[in-house]
Structure 1
Amino acid sequence: MTPSLSLRRQLLIWLLLPQLILWLGGGALTYRIALNYAEKGLDQSLSQSVKSLARQIKPLGSGLLVDFPKAAQAIIEEDPDDRVSYMVSSPPGKFLIGNQAFTNDPLTINTETPVFYRIEIGKKPMRAAALDVSYGDVDQPQLLRVQLAKSYVAHERIAQELIADLLAPLLALGLALSLLVYAGIKRGMTPLTRLERQLQERSSADLTPLELTSAPTEVHSLVTAINRLLQAIQRSVKQEKRFINDAAHQLRTPLAGLINQSDLAINETDGERLRARLHKVHSGALRSAHLVNQLLALARSGSEVQMSRIDLAHLAKDTARELSPRAVSLKVDLGYEGDVQAWVMGSALLLREAISNLIDNALRYGIPPDVHATPTITVRVHAKQGKVTLIVEDNGAGLTDTQREQAFDRFWRGSDLPGGCGLGLSIVQEIAKRHGAQADVSLATSQGLCVSLTFPECAQAS
């Protein structure tokens, strides 16, 4: 892929290129205006000359008296590069005197003011003026035409001088403006250069927020976006480190026990004691597998997931239905109460994990103090006043006030019963945070523990 131009070069191109185009366009327009004014000056000169020449030709009876001194004729013809052509004709078009015959006369002539037009004499374009003069008797009126033409040499020279005098200052102003634009871009790019230097000087482990003061709003917005990204990366790195530390810490003990029990089992000769050793190895393996699954669920709860509209009531009923065979085997009464539908924005995978953990927690520890009482677990979902609340309630022994404050701590366990690892409620709380929900632990209405998750309600699809 071809590398794109830098921002500085793009700014220079888009600022200086229009300036160059405008300067060239202005120069062409200025040259055209200069030619127009030079032509007006040429027409004025031709007007004075043709009138002066007409005054030298005077009617005399039925004839003409031409008083055209040779000195005046020499002055008219003295510049070979700007030669003046003239012709006197009477009637118009019939040559009388002059140094050039005009072959293409204008159709109409004003007898009071000269008429100006373009003409070619000897394949050379010239500017011409024509003036008609009336003479003769009343009975026999006659018309005399005086024509005078000058080349465009002086006209073009004047235009070139004008354009040089006008464009030189414009060029100087353009160069000065270009330097100012370059200096302005360089100064405006300073915050980005400083930001680039800050990033280059950082180590890969430095994820602290960037600092950039006295910079335009756009740069502050960029820095804010980068800082948000750095914070997200920092959270991800912390979660990864915490996951590794938790996994290493929690797996060390069961794996050491497995190794110890397997070593003893290898050297055991008594069948009953060997069976006991293998039973302990099996229990330790189950606990390790459960711990690994919980740790993976905890790591998954902190990853980026796609949110969508979910019927939490349907999801809760479906999850409870999946776990009902296990509840039946444990002789636990697992049921659902609540709304038919309750919509929230969330991830079905994570919410199912949270509900499963709550029900699993209740199945493990929701044992009633009265051995004759039937263990009961009730899952409820209610939508009210813009909130959707998910509740998992059991009729077990519950937790004390102090224990409820620690319920969401990682690896904290409120019971010594085997099988748990102290991560179930931590996973539930992490998932709740990802969904903007509030997780709470309280006493059940009668007895036992009540864990609730309160979500913002999502409008039902039409």
Structure 2
Amino acid sequence: MSPLQPSRLSLRRQLLLWLLLPQLVLWAGGGLLTYRIALSYAEKAIDQSLTQSVRALARQVKPIGSGLLIDFPRAAQDVLAQDPEDPLSYLVSSPPGKFLLGNPRLPEPPAPLATVGEPMLYGATLDGRPMRIVALDVSYGETDAPQTLRVQVARGTATQQRIARELVADLLAPLLAIGVLLSLLVYGGIRRGLAPLKRLTGQLENRSVNALSPIGMTQAPSEVHALVQAINGLLGEVERSVHQEKRFINDAAHQLRTPLAGLISQVELAQRETTDPVITARLGKVLTGAERSAHLVHQLLTLARTESTARREPLDLAALAREVAREWTPRAVAAGVDLGYEGEEHANLQGDALQLREAMANLIDNALRYTPRGSTVTLRVRALENGATLAVEDNGPGLSDADMAHVFQRFWRASELPGGCGLGLAIVREIARRHGGDARVERVNPRGLRVELRLG
């Protein structure tokens, strides 16, 4: 089964996207629909105004016998031109199409008027401007010689569009404020709803002591409670498995160390009691193998313990390093190696003293084991703003580039010298990681090797 791949969008962003994007689309669609409705109502208002104007203008044309009296006072003309930005245009023609008065360039209706006395509304363009025009036919003359008078009144659609825009602006401004408020409420609701998941993530990320203990959440939605219960069930199974593994390792180590210690004691006694060089050589090989097996058992037990959670307590790393250096001084003297400490007087941090002591012991043991007599081994501690570094440096033969890439692998050995088992540096790195850091190895000029632990 392939591991879960993280989504490009977080759950919060996906919820915001699915909740706010439709709201934005609906708001834009509502704005467009509102504009169309406002435009329609504005058109109806203008059509009504044009119809009233054309009827009023038609009333000013009075038949006299076979002729016409056009009573179009100055006041009426001022009314028609009351909007200088979009004035009314008119045309009086009789018979329809034969200019009498007004603007002769007004377009004719697209079709003949069906009924005399009923206005026809239509759209046209005049001088590049869209216009709304109403035409009204009026009958006059004698009964035996009827005639028709056509009155047309036109107004540009700029006023109509301006009214629609103002109406839409007046309607959408409150809707926009409501949309912003709704968006803030949605964001706050999502943030509040996802808070239990954030708390759960924080609890899982910050677990150090009792890392496999159940997670406690008192206030959370039912879905998060179900997730927590599933995680607690998994943690319980893992904890039982870890306890069984640790118990098995402890029992196996105890069962192995006791006979190995007895075997080593018996071989040493046999070596002292025999004088046969052949038997002594064979007993020496048996002793070497038994000591290596005992060391391997100890390292395996240490590795299993370091893979559990470190007990972080306040300690002085510098003082601990000086103490370990003093403990290893007799063996260093016996090996002809100068072991010393350099660094801070005090370096306080949170750590597991037993595991850090084991890491220093492994590093010093490796340095003493693989450096020739007359070499120098230095234990260094340097305090940092958030932690400290612990390093063991020697001026021995060092390692090649190919070997440097494998030093932290389990059971890998760079030398066939007796005594090692290839777990020391793997244990050191595991301890460093349990303390929020890591381990690295580098060559020292002109010769030598330095293993450094960064501890958080």
**1:396 matched residue in structure 2:** none
**1:119 matched residue in structure 2:** 124
User: Are 2:95 and 2:147, in contact at CA under 8 Å, matched by a contact in 1?
Assistant: yes
Q: How far apart are residue 268 of structure 1 and its match?
A: 5.7
**SS of match in other structure, 1:189:** helix
**Paired residue type of 1:21:** V
User: Are 1:93 and 1:105, in contact at CA under 8 Å, matched by a contact in 2?
Assistant: no
1:175 matched to 2:185? The reply is no
1:207 matched to 2:207? The reply is no
**Paired residue type of 2:83:** D
**1:158 matched residue in structure 2:** 163
**Paired residue type of 1:77:** A
Q: How far apart are residue 145 of structure 1 and its match?
A: 1.2
1:189 matched to 2:194? The reply is yes
**Residue of 250, 261, 272 corresponding to 1:256:** 261
Q: How far apart are residue 241 of structure 1 and its match?
A: 0.8
**Paired residue type of 1:51:** R
Distance 2:10 2:209 in 1: 25
Residues 132-167 of structure 1 show CA distances to partners (whole Å, capped at 9, x for unaligned) of 112233443322211110112322232122112211
**1:42 matched residue in structure 2:** 46
> Residues 251-290 of structure 1 correspond to what in structure 2 (within 5 A)?
251-266=256-271
Q: How far apart are residue 205 of structure 1 and its match?
A: 4.2
Structure 1 ranges of 4+ moved more than 6 A: none
Distance 2:256 2:244 in 1: 17
Residues 421-441 of structure 1 show CA distances to partners (whole Å, capped at 9, x for unaligned) of xxxxxxxxxxxxxxxxxxxxx
With the length of structure 1 as denominator, give the TM-score of the two structures. 0.55
1:8 matched to 2:12? The reply is yes
**Residue of 15, 26, 30 corresponding to 2:30:** 26
Distance 1:120 1:84 in 2: 14
Distance 2:75 2:117 in 1: 27
User: Are 1:92 and 1:143, in contact at CA under 8 Å, matched by a contact in 2?
Assistant: yes
Distance 2:31 2:14 in 1: 25
Q: In terms of mean alpha carbon deviation, does 72-81 or 250-259 score higher?
A: 250-259
| CA separation of 1:2 and 1:242: change in aligned 2, threshold 3 A | closer
**Paired residue type of 2:134:** A
Residues 148-202 of structure 1 show CA distances to partners (whole Å, capped at 9, x for unaligned) of 1011232223212211221121112112211211221222122123223323442
**Residue of 225, 229, 246 corresponding to 2:230:** 225
**RMSD of Structure 2 on Structure 1 (CA):** 3.3
Distance 2:117 2:240 in 1: 96
User: Are 2:109 and 2:122, in contact at CA under 8 Å, matched by a contact in 1?
Assistant: no
Return 5+ residue gaps in structure 2 as ranges.
298-303, 305-456
**1:70 matched residue in structure 2:** 74
Return 5+ residue gaps in structure 1 as ranges.
293-298, 300-462
| CA separation of 1:161 and 1:269: change in aligned 2, threshold 3 A | closer
Q: Share of identical aligned residues, percent?
A: 63
**Residue of 85, 88, 105 corresponding to 2:92:** 88
The structure number with the bigger radius of gyration is 1
User: Are 2:61 and 2:69, in contact at CA under 8 Å, matched by a contact in 1?
Assistant: yes
Distance 1:229 1:203 in 2: 17
**2:241 matched residue in structure 1:** 236
Q: How far apart are residue 229 of structure 1 and its match?
A: 2.6
Distance 2:241 2:64 in 1: 115
**SS of match in other structure, 1:117:** strand
Residues 311-367 of structure 1 show CA distances to partners (whole Å, capped at 9, x for unaligned) of xxxxxxxxxxxxxxxxxxxxxxxxxxxxxxxxxxxxxxxxxxxxxxxxxxxxxxxxx
**2:60 matched residue in structure 1:** 56
**Paired residue type of 2:155:** K
